Amino acid sequence: MTSHSATDNGSCFFERNPNLELSRRAFVEGVGTLLLMLVITASGLTAQRLSVENELIILLVIGFATSAALVGLILAFGSVSGGHFNPLITALQWLAGDRKLNCTIAYIFAQFIGGVMGALVANQLFDSTLNISATLTLKPTLVYSEILAATGLMIVVFGCSRGGLTLTGPFAVGAWLLSAIVSTPSTSYANPAIIVSALFAAGPVGLPLDIVLIYLPAEVVGALLAFSIISVAFPRSTQPDESTQSIRKP
């Protein structure tokens, strides 16, 4: 498997130097996911304390905080690890042949560990115990919602990546995520690391196990659907041109 670096093809979500030690790149993915989940959980707890009865305000606070944090983290860490913080992105890059299996496993492991740690740290910051009182009732619309949320996010991510939108890509991802959070019944988790971490999160973003077990496969289905759409929209040429001659293996 090979990987195009950001400097080679001008795309986002790829490391600037794929020859950097894998341990360092995976560490950055873990830290980034930790900070992302910390903000997601903490913003929910903050909004809940400020406006316990107003679900719309809580949703808006979580949406704005999540999208802003994600944009900032991608810009800060993207040159080191690609700024994924989402196993779906990493796995689809491997499926596309852009990332080696050992790198994929290391990234995903770090993302899950980082996400769980982020939820636990947020709980401690707010002195909140795990008390999930989710109002969600499991029904087909939530499953469809999470499929569509993951599909849309991956289309934006890989559309920006293959379109070479290095600087504007993170803002496009943040904009899509904010709109999806406030417009989907499942509030667009669209990230397996965040979903699993929600098991350990107190407050509005916390999820019970039965919801998590349904959302996870829904997100995978959505990611695969997005991969099919992107493959049609941005077909890869079988004949390499001069702009892709320099290929490095992470």
Surface-to-core class of residue 140, CB atoms within 10 Å of its CB (0-12 exposed, 13-18 middle, 19+ buried): exposed
Per-residue confidence (pLDDT) for residue 66, from 0 to 100 = 97
Structural domain includes residue 228: yes
Structural domain includes residue 29: yes
Structural domain includes residue 243: no
Structural domain includes residue 12: yes
Structural domain includes residue 64: yes
Mean pLDDT of 101-123: 97
| Domain of residue 69, residue span | 7-235
> Structure tokens of 165?
């939108």
How many domains would you assign to the chain? 1
Taking the C-alpha atoms of residue 204 and residue 42, their distance in angstroms, rounded to an integer, is 10
Structural domain includes residue 146: yes
The residue whose two tokens read 């740690």 is: 117
Is the per-residue pLDDT at 249 higher than 60? no
Radius of gyration (Cα) for the chain, nearest Å? 18
CATH number at residue 125: 1.20.1080.10
Is the per-residue pLDDT at 236 higher than 80? no
Q: How confident is the model at residue 136 (pLDDT cuts 50, 70, 90)?
A: low
Structural domain includes residue 248: no
Per-residue confidence (pLDDT) for residue 237, from 0 to 100 = 62
Structural domain includes residue 1: no
Per-residue confidence (pLDDT) for residue 135, from 0 to 100 = 55
Per-residue confidence (pLDDT) for residue 88, from 0 to 100 = 98
- pLDDT tens, residue by residue, 152-201: 999 999 999 998 888 889 999 999 999 999 999 999 999 999 999 999 99
Taking the C-alpha atoms of residue 8 and residue 11, their distance in angstroms, rounded to an integer, is 8
- Taking CB atoms within 8 Å and a gap of at least 24, the contacts of 209-213 are 210/138, 211/134, 211/136, 211/138, 211/142
